[in-house]
Amino acid sequence: MALFELTLAEAADAVAQGELSPAELTGSVLERLDAVEERLGAYVAVSRETARESAALAEREIAAGRYRGPLHGIPFGLKDLIDVAGLPTTASSRVRAEHVAQADSAVARRLFDAGAVFLGKTHTHEFAYGLTTPQTRNAWDQGRIAGGSSGGSAVAVAAGAATFALGTDTGGSIRVPAALNGVVGLKPTYDLLSRHGVTSLSWSLDHVGPLARTVRDAALVLSALTGEDSEDAVGPGVARPGYPPSEEEDLTGLRIGVPVNYYFDRVSPAVETAVRGALAQMSDLGAELVEVEIPLARYVQATQWGLMVPEATAYHEQALRSVPELYAPDVRVLLEAGELLSAGDYLRAQRARTLMRQAWGQVLEQVDVIAAPTVPMTAAEVGQDIVEWPDGTTESVSDAYVRLSAPANITGIPALTLPVGRDQAGLPIGMQLMGPPMGEALVLRAGQAYEAVQDGRDGLAPVAA
């Protein structure tokens, strides 16, 4: 096995034991990155020299007995909405051509403090306002979309061009590309992780979170991003339990809500079969499957759009007036049209969110977690705009990918996606585990239990170098 194929946990164990050199690991990941980047287009920019220097520093620190923890010496990528001091945060947009970040974002600072090795910035759909990330290709089939908007982060992790990465999620932008590329993605509870220094799409829906190869890896990253010494913590006195890797395979006592509406409507047969198969395995581990009704499902898209569209337009108010021609056409027209929504539309969406949070809270009193497909179909072909469903309805590809992710953004609850199989074409399928607010430990534990009983990992995407 090449070093770039190691999971974060495997690499961290080896580094901690003195069996793996961070410099060699980083060198291997950079070599892999260079071998696949032309085919995948995952990165906006790669900081090769900085990465090699950071890895060498990590090696010296560890040799001197100053081991900082599991992320020490581990190479990672950052979605290019996340500030690193002295580097452009391009948001994959020409609008940001001259941008240079003055300071590190809070999450980047956390990772630097943990000793992680920054590789570079990964592509996003422009300003995170889309679900495809057109600059990047799916790690499993380059004729397919990466998904978005954290497409570069997901593809880099899937291909071995980063051991982990961070993304952002406003309507599924971590979970969608994670699912489409066969990796794990976690959208934490709203506000669990600071968005300071992260370019916003929609303030009230935005979340930052990890993408990794395994649930265990995602838990390690989340632990590093939280903790007691944050200078940008949610608030004083907020308990931060950490997210220790779980070895527990027994799910006895876990009540998993299985939606009887919405989440399995207009879902491809391969996706439904894989998710229900994964749920059967979790039942075998002792979990109780409980049917649940998803409340206010008819209003999910209206609420998501009623919040996101005016907030995004407000964020871009100045640039839309000064340099509108620099936006990609799909993003520009959404921002312009957003000027025509009323305050009444926005307030109705915020009031609907109140109702939705209350109603979801009641469902999450009946069950511990809710399990569902992450996305209704595997990766679409590049250029495909519309999905036709067997019931005769059609839907835009973007709407389809947001549909099952948006409720966790509106309600702010944690949502984890993990791979649960592949379709006939070999494309990855993701399952989503959603928990109560601040229930990260629960969804991570449930995900790790599922992961622990799989017959070996699926491994990296088979990208030809």
Partner 1 sequence: MSDVELTATEAARWALRAGLPLESERHAEVAATANHIHAVVRTLRELDFGETPPATHTIEAEATDGAL
Which residue, 154 or 408, has its beta carbon nearer to partner 1?
408
Write the interaction track for partner 1 spanning residues 8-27; mark x where CB under 8 A is met and - where it is not. Answer: --------------------
Instruction: Scan residues 334-373 and list those touching partner 1 (CB under 8 A).
Output: 334, 336-341, 345, 347-355, 357, 368
Question: What is the enclosing helix (H) or strand (E) of 407?
Answer: helix 406-411
Strand bridging mode 184-187 / 394-396: unpaired
Of 372, 357, 353, the closest CA to residue 292 belongs to: 372
Rounded CA-CA distance 97/94 in Å is 5
Tell me which residue has tokens 């006195």: 237
Which residue, 64 or 321, has its beta carbon nearer to partner 1?
321
Rounded CA-CA distance 252/284 in Å is 9
Annotation marks residue 187 as catalytic:
no
Which residue, 174 or 352, has its beta carbon nearer to partner 1?
352
Contact criterion met (CB below 8 Å) for 308 and 130: no
Contact criterion met (CB below 8 Å) for 296 and 352: yes
CA atoms within a 13 Å half-sphere pointing along the CA-CB vector of 241: 10
> Shortest gap between Cβ of 442 and partner 1 (angstroms)?
5
Strand bridging mode 207-212 / 164-169: antiparallel
- Please name the residues in contact with 39: beta carbons below 8 A apart, sequence gap of 6 or more: 137, 142, 463, 464
Dmax over CA atoms of the chain, in Å, equals: 65
Tell me which residue has tokens 């640039």: 319
Rounded CA-CA distance 242/221 in Å is 10
Annotation marks residue 149 as catalytic:
yes
Which residue, 365 or 455, has its beta carbon nearer to partner 1?
365
> Shortest gap between Cβ of 383 and partner 1 (angstroms)?
20
Out of 150, 173, 200, 202, the active site residue is 173
Torsion of CA 374, 379, 382, 388, to 10 degrees: -80
> Shortest gap between Cβ of 23 and partner 1 (angstroms)?
35
Which residue, 175 or 195, has its beta carbon nearer to partner 1?
195
Amino acid letter, 419: P
Write the interaction track for partner 1 spanning residues 43-82; mark x where CB under 8 A is met and - where it is not. Answer: ----------------------------------------
Structure tokens at 302: 């209206």
Write the interaction track for partner 1 spanning residues 281-320; mark x where CB under 8 A is met and - where it is not. Answer: -----------------xx-xxx-xx--x----------x
Identify the residue among 67, 203, 264, 389 touching partner 1 (CB under 8 A): 203
Out of 149, 202, 398, 405, the active site residue is 149
Annotation marks residue 194 as catalytic:
no
Identify the residue among 122, 189, 200, 432 touching partner 1 (CB under 8 A): 189
Which residue, 106 or 117, has its beta carbon nearer to partner 1?
106
Per CB under 8 A, does 391 bind partner 1? Answer: no
Per CB under 8 A, does 381 bind partner 1? Answer: no
Amino acid letter, 406: A
Instruction: Scan residues 407-436 and list those touching partner 1 (CB under 8 A).
Output: 412, 436
Out of 28, 47, 79, 93, the active site residue is 79
Write the interaction track for partner 1 spanning residues 168-187; mark x where CB under 8 A is met and - where it is not. Answer: --------------------
Of 24, 135, 149, 45, the closest CA to residue 90 belongs to: 45
Which residue, 37 or 311, has its beta carbon nearer to partner 1?
311
Which residue, 113 or 288, has its beta carbon nearer to partner 1?
288
Q: Where are the alpha helices (DSSP H) in 119-214?
A: 151-159, 175-180
List the end-to-end C-alpha distance of the chain, in Å, as a whole number. 15
Identify the residue among 1, 229, 231, 239 touching partner 1 (CB under 8 A): 239
Structure tokens at 448: 């790790």
Q: Which backbone phi and psi does 112 adopt, to 5 degrees?
A: -65, -40
Per CB under 8 A, does 441 bind partner 1? Answer: yes
Structure tokens at 54: 């950071």
> Shortest gap between Cβ of 396 and partner 1 (angstroms)?
10
Strand bridging mode 428-434 / 369-373: antiparallel
> Shortest gap between Cβ of 219 and partner 1 (angstroms)?
10
Of 427, 445, 422, the closest CA to residue 435 belongs to: 445
Instruction: Scan residues 252-271 and list those touching partner 1 (CB under 8 A).
Output: 252-254
Chain residues in the site for partner 1 (CB under 8 A) = 189-191, 203-204, 238-241, 243, 246, 251-254, 298-299, 301-303, 305-306, 309, 320-321, 333-334, 336-341, 345, 347-355, 357, 368, 412, 436-442, 444-445
Active-site amino acid positions:
79, 149, 173
